[in-house]
Structure 1
Amino acid sequence: MNPLIASDLDRTLIYSTAALGLRMPDADAPRLLCVEVYEHKPLSYMTETAAALLTGLARTATFVPTTTRTREQYRRIRLPGPPPRFAICANGGELLVDGESDTGWRRRVEAGLAAECATLEEVRTHLARTADPAWLLKERTAEDLFAYLVVDRALLPEEWVKELSAWAEPRGWTVSLQGRKLYAVPAPLTKSAAVAEIARRTGPCEVLAAGDSLLDADLLLAADRGWRPGHGELADAGWTAPHVTALTTRGVAAGEEILRAFGGTA
């Protein structure tokens, strides 16, 4: 029985220049493969070893990229190996099958959010009213499902983030701060729900997962086995679970270690 591997991408398997964490001497740095270009410039990388490991996993497992990125942002990525049959975007709001959106899944997601959560417009209005232009760089929505801000982390008050989380929780929303992006996401909009749907379609299997942020916690909890890197929101919070391996490795090397762990169980 081949496993289903559902992995977050940014800061889990792929890394921007700022997130690479290359702390070794330059001569000892790993060879890197660029896997994303944005506005004619290289943006995201993995080690060449990690690329080879991911390619090999395609022969023994169902690999499912599982990301908070929009479909447009996800399609910029060129992962090594054959194109995955399934991919999850927008934190579970979009399920791609052979590269195309599953409209039935999207309708189910929208119906669930309408029944349980405050509207996106209410959340955007609150963000616009309370965010300070001194640290707010951009305000965006993703797939008409959730909102995020691009912020200056050095100027962003920690207390404001806590106040936003307290405001959002009773309205059925969660807040996650990842790098320069602060996400406001409906609590029922989860990666784990989309993974469960894929598992239902593919048949009984072991589910393996990896992720670094609070938005990945539900994915890791729902998996049979999980891994988190030594960086990110989950590591900063000391978060773990009995079946989740808390790695100490940080940066792009953690992505390589996660893929080795996937391969050891596939």
Structure 2
Amino acid sequence: MYLRRPGDADAQRRQTLVATDLDRTMIYSRNAFSATAEVPTVCVEHLEGAPLSFMTTAAALRMHTLTQPAAVIPTTTRTIKQFGRIQLPGAPWRYAITSNGGNILVDGVPDMRWRIDIDAQVRASGATLSEVSAELRARIDDSWATKFRIADHLFCYLVVKPKLVPEDFLAEWDSWCQARGWSASQQGRKIYTMPKAVCKSHAVAEVRRRLLESGELSRDAKTLAAGDGALDAEMLRAADSAIRPRHGELEQLNWTSPNLTVTRSSGILAGEEIIDWFIDAAPQLTD
């Protein structure tokens, strides 16, 4: 699946780097469609044989087009295993970022040098995952928190019943975390607890550095980014230009930035609009 190399014909020097979140930005569960009319879709992820995530048919076709002028970097909070379930159009990927920036995959293989450095930064910046996990477990109960998960030995998250989460829980938990080098945010049914050292924008900057060093990316290449959640905000702010959908956590926060475009559409049609925006913004390949 992961075969692209710097010397390949399709890995010429690109003028644009595209770092894009996946869930509710590029791909959508049926519950997140939010389309007022039926639109043709393709399934891009299965879980235990059942279809789970989708793109519009038009978005899937245009994703192939996007990979010609741009170095596309899937950038997700998903774990390595969860990312591996996705059959995103345009693969194979020279680089992909998972675990919210905690892991960089190179031709599908985790870069251990990057991970070792991230682990060292987390240890130096505050509380350990064990300490945070123990405190979080003491604050939740089964009436509203249905799952507790450790992700790639980096961070933890809850799956919750949103309407039953105590009103002050997130603010109080985030306050506890902030004082210890961590943060908390909610995206739909998930509440993430994340070390501040684990950040998508840092990983994107590292991938950009490597692509420049290898000659796969032009020195004056622009970085474009897309995402819908608070964990994407720093990545969007750091990009030359960015776009977010008209839904999700950042929409609820009315989050904006001078470099930011907001889609007209919400739901799965916003994903299609985001890809079109990337294509319009990406110049053609150079020799």
The answer on 1:108 being equivalent to 2:108 is: no
1:81 to 87, 90, 98: 90
SS in 1 for 2:243: strand
Q: In structure 2, which of residues 246, 257, 273 is the aligned counterpart of residue 241 of structure 1? A: 257
Alignment partner for residue 201 of structure 2, among 192, 197, 221?
192
Name whichever of 157-166 and 190-199 sits farther off: 157-166
1:183 aligns with 2:208: no
1:161 matched to 2:170? The reply is: yes
C-alpha distance in structure 2 between counterparts of 1:15 and 1:176, whole Å: 20
Match of 1:72 among 74, 81, 91: 81
| Alpha-carbon distance in structure 1 between the residues aligned to 2:24 and 2:53 | 10
Q: Secondary structure at the match of 1:42?
A: strand
Match of 2:29 in 1: 16
Shift in Å at residue 133 of structure 1?
1.6
Q: Please point out which of 103, 108, 122 is paired with 1:94.
A: 103
Identity, % of aligned positions: 47
User: TM-score, normalized by length of structure 2?
Assistant: 0.90
**Structure 2 residue matching 1:5: 3-state secondary structure:** strand
Whole-angstrom CA distance in 2 between matches of 1:109 and 1:248: 37
Task: Determine the C-alpha separation between the residues in 2 that align with 1:230 and 1:18.
Answer: 16
- Per mean C-alpha deviation after superposition, the further-off stretch among 156-165 and 70-79 is 156-165
Say yes or no: does 1:257 pair with 2:270. no
Range 15-24 or range 60-69, more displaced: 15-24
State yes or no: 1:208 paired with 2:217: no
Secondary structure at the counterpart of residue 15 of structure 2: coil
The answer for unaligned runs of 5 or more in structure 2 is 1-13, 213-218, 283-287
Distance in 1 of aligned mates of 2:27 and 2:185: 19
Structure 1: where are the runs of 5+ without partners? none
- 1:67 deviates by 0.1
Name the amino acid aligned to 2:275.
L
Task: Note if 1:37 corresponds to 2:50.
Answer: no
| Counterpart among 7, 14, 17 of residue 4 in structure 1 | 17
The letter of the residue matching 2:228 is: D
1-side partners of 2:92 and 2:183: how far apart? Answer: 31
Quick one: distance in 2 between partners of 1:169 and 1:132? 22
CA offsets 1:12-55 (integer angstroms, 9 cap, x no match) = 0000010011223xxxx210010000011000000010001110
State the alpha-carbon separation in 2 of the partners of residues 249 and 120 from structure 1.
38
Q: Which runs of 4+ in 1 moved over 4 A?
A: none
- AA aligned opposite 1:134: S
Matches of 1:158 and 1:228, distance apart in 2 = 27
**Structure 2 Cα separation of the partners of residues 190 and 244 of structure 1:** 19
Q: In structure 2, do the counterparts of structure 1 residues 247 and 158 end up closer, same or farther at CA, with 3 Å as the change threshold?
A: farther
For the aligned residue pairs, the C-alpha RMSD in angstroms reads 0.9
The aligned counterpart of 1:152 is 161
Instruction: Please say which of residues 171-180 and 91-100 is displaced more in the overlay.
Output: 171-180
Deviates more, 1:114-123 or 1:5-14: 114-123
Q: Aligned-pair distance for 1:254?
A: 0.4
| Distance of 1:136 and 1:184 partners within structure 2 | 14
Residue 119 of structure 1 aligns with which residue?
128
| Deviating more after overlay: 207-216 vs 106-115 | 106-115
